[in-house]
Amino acid sequence: MTVPVFLEFLEQTVARYPGEKVVMILDNAKIHHAKLIQPFLAEHRDDLTLVFLPPYSPQMNLIEAFWGWLKRSVIDHVFFHSVAAIKLAVEAFIAMVNTTPNTTRERLCMGL
């Protein structure tokens, strides 16, 4: 991801939730702190708050747990004959995650 892409994401997020307070939990990637996004953040300080995880804390970054779960459940020790087959397997996993929110929350938030 690039800084302009991240800025566009922030703009779309604020536009999608007008008048609501949005809080994003982010890692400390350089793009999340870039000078280019600072004017936007200052302009939207009442509707958008960025909360940064401590450096070197992958155990607190739920996406890391999600990627590991996906890898172990879908990709590990499997040979896919096509990119389309990989896509279908990943989509099925995401559908399962989306239909079992309590199980997903318990699995990803263990230890937090």
**pLDDT for 20-52, tens place per residue?**
999 998 888 888 999 999 999 999 999 999 998
Return the pLDDT at 90.
Answer: 94
Residue for token pair 């007008």: 18
pLDDT per residue, tens digit, the chain (112 aa), is 899 999 999 999 999 999 899 999 888 888 899 999 999 999 999 999 999 888 777 666 677 788 889 999 998 888 999 999 999 999 999 999 999 888 888 888 765 5
Other residues' Cβ atoms within 10 Å of the Cβ of residue 37: 19
6 in Cβ contact with 29 (< 8 Å): no
Return the pLDDT at 112.
Answer: 52
What is the crossing angle of helices 62-70 and 101-108, to 10°? 110
